[in-house]
Structure 1
Amino acid sequence: MPVIDLPNIRLHVQELNPGGRETIIMVHGMFSNLAVYYFNIAPMLAKHFRVVLFDMKGHGMSGKVKTGYDLTSMTNDLHDLMDALGIEKAHLAGYSYGGLVALKMAARFPERVGKLAIIEGPDPSEQETLAIIDTYSKEFLIHYIENFADTTRLLAGKRQLEKNHRMYEFLFNETSIRSDMEAEKAFFNDPSVAAIPHETLLIYGEDSNCVPSGRTLASRIPNAKLVLAPGDHNVPVQQPEVIGKELEKFLKPGHRRLLEKHPGARRPRPTEID
């Protein structure tokens, strides 16, 4: 479990298929960690790509800091991580607030990003955004404990709950995370978002409160397509195979040509919204 020293933070990083010809970097959401991808979605993508996962600052096994949870600081970390790993250009996938980090990265450093996949990226201007992220992050942690603990599940689960309780306490009470997130309220209206040139896949749970956010992004990013999958805001945990297959199809070369050639071959679920 390597920890990489960057100019401003130490980040815990995991790689799958490090010899892959193309790289995808996956960004988790606030109050969770890289495990949201590690056990299901990342191994699917690692059949074709080098997959890089990392715990954002203040999360998982990465360094704990009290400030710097705004999108500019987060993308500075990601930029530094790419430099440290020798990654000139990578596809990006981000979930929840991690999706906003991916969007900001594409807007600030377009030359470093290939394709862009946003999973349940919430509109920061919505009053419910922080509550949604908080509620579903807790659900994710419970799911993680119940499904991915080892044979000493009860003991490991108790330890994990205590560990994540401390993480919540730290993030909520000792950092600028809430004010930093609230300061991003105008992000979806930023001209830089509408100027994102990358081919972009937007995946949202059909029962999610964030579907309007997906529709907003689809209307503003010129080269974006919205797909609705069964589930709610926690769709990567609820439907990892569906999400993995959508990402795999999107990232593999030639996927757009196939869609244009066979428009009638689309699955009824997930639903693609043109």
Structure 2
Amino acid sequence: MGYYVKVESNVKVYVEDLNPLCNKTIVFLHGWPGSSELFEYQFNKLPEKGFRCIGIDMRGFGRSDKPFTGYDYDTLSNDVRAVIEALRLKDVTLLGHSTGGSIAIRYIAKYGQGVSKLVLCAAAAPSLIKRPYFPYGLPREAVDNIISETYSDRPKMLSDFGDMFFFKHITKPFSDWFFSLGLKAASWATASVARTWIEDEKLFSDLEKIQIPTLILHGIHDKVCRFQLAEAQKKAIKHSKLIPFEFSGHGLFYDQQEKFNRELIKFIEE
């Protein structure tokens, strides 16, 4: 079941809500530049196990409205808060992949209402890019190139990004499907979120504010968010557990989907 939730007076986000009568709820926040459709291989299985799966297409992406502004983590986490409040969600597991992980972290640090557990998957935190005090991220030039190519040849940028997303071999039809998800985003949203990575979106202090049980899942072959980011998350979050995915890149929910689903279920039910 899909519907829209108003998060601002002139902005609505799309919500996919599977198995809504179940009280074991997972809210999924997708990474850049996709949509909640990235979690197809979780949505196929988890409702069968008795979970309510709620996928939010972040503003500017997927089937949501695409305003020209509002792509900083504060605004995006406010959108998550609006959905959680509108649906009156309680005791949920909040799951964020990549930039969605960053948004989940900001949400917990600022609000936390309705969330009892956190799952970070290949999260872009505490910083996606290298900084003088954090040498583990991507070079700033790599993100500058993403922004430049978004404005000059977005299809090529998306194709190049897809080539580094997964660890295991993917078929041409699957690659085309993944590519199509990126094309559904607005180009200005794609560039704006990328720009936040190099401006002031750092999450060091946010991580230290997390007090709920947290599961960190991260592929050791991740070329987008290096594995050292997961180690930094584990060090900063008091009640956290890190599980490496030995045969995964950035798309661990597909690279090792059975392990991903199994560890997620185990964490929620323990």
TM bucket (normalised to shorter chain) is 0.7 to 0.9
TM-score normalised per structure 1: 0.77
What's 2:65 paired with? 63
What's 2:216 paired with? 202
Structure with bigger gyration radius? 1
- Supply the distance in 2 between the matched residues of 1:89 and 1:30 (Cα, whole angstroms): 26
Q: Is the 8 A contact 1:107 1:196 kept in 2?
A: yes
Q: Is the 8 A contact 1:67 1:177 kept in 2?
A: no
What's 1:169 paired with? 187
- Give, in angstroms, the shift of residue 125 of structure 1: 5.0
- Give, in angstroms, the shift of residue 98 of structure 1: 0.3
Query: CA RMSD of the aligned region, Å?
Result: 2.9
- Give, in angstroms, the shift of residue 64 of structure 1: 0.3
What's 1:146 paired with? 173
What's 2:151 paired with? none
Once the two structures are superposed, the pairs formed by residues 1-274 of structure 1 within 5 Å of their partners are 1-8=2-9, 9-38=11-40, 40-46=41-47, 47-123=49-125, 124=127, 126-127=129-130, 128=138, 131=142, 136=161, 146-147=173-174, 164-165=182-183, 167=185, 169-172=187-190, 176-187=192-203, 189-190=204-205, 192-209=206-223, 210-229=226-245, 230-252=247-269, 255=270
- Give, in angstroms, the shift of residue 43 of structure 1: 3.1
- Supply the distance in 1 between the matched residues of 2:267 and 2:18 (Cα, whole angstroms): 19
Alignment CA distance shift 1:163-1:101 (3 Å): closer
> Structure 2: any 5+ residue segments left out of the alignment?
131-137, 147-157
- Give, in angstroms, the shift of residue 219 of structure 1: 0.5
- The residue matched to 2:21 in structure 1 has which SS? coil
Which one-letter code corresponds to 1:126 in the other structure?
I
Select the structure that is richer in helix.
1
Alignment CA distance shift 1:91-1:176 (3 Å): same
- The residue matched to 1:92 in structure 2 has which SS? strand
What's 1:152 paired with? none
Alignment CA distance shift 1:207-1:166 (3 Å): closer
- Supply the distance in 1 between the matched residues of 2:228 and 2:180 (Cα, whole angstroms): 35
TM-score normalised per structure 2: 0.78
Identical columns (%)? 23
Which one-letter code corresponds to 1:212 in the other structure?
Q
- The residue matched to 1:24 in structure 2 has which SS? strand
- The residue matched to 2:194 in structure 1 has which SS? helix
- Supply the distance in 2 between the matched residues of 1:30 and 1:162 (Cα, whole angstroms): 13
Aligned length: 239
- The residue matched to 1:3 in structure 2 has which SS? strand
- Supply the distance in 2 between the matched residues of 1:166 and 1:250 (Cα, whole angstroms): 32
Which one-letter code corresponds to 1:228 in the other structure?
P
- Supply the distance in 1 between the matched residues of 2:91 and 2:171 (Cα, whole angstroms): 31
Q: Deviations over 1:131-178 (max 9, x none)?
A: 58965457669x698249xxxxxxxx59x8577446363434xx6323
Q: Is the 8 A contact 1:136 1:234 kept in 2?
A: no
What's 1:153 paired with? none
- Supply the distance in 1 between the matched residues of 2:121 and 2:184 (Cα, whole angstroms): 27
- The residue matched to 1:176 in structure 2 has which SS? helix
Worse-superposed segment, 243-252 or 80-89 = 80-89
- Supply the distance in 2 between the matched residues of 1:129 and 1:234 (Cα, whole angstroms): 20
Which one-letter code corresponds to 2:260 in the other structure?
I
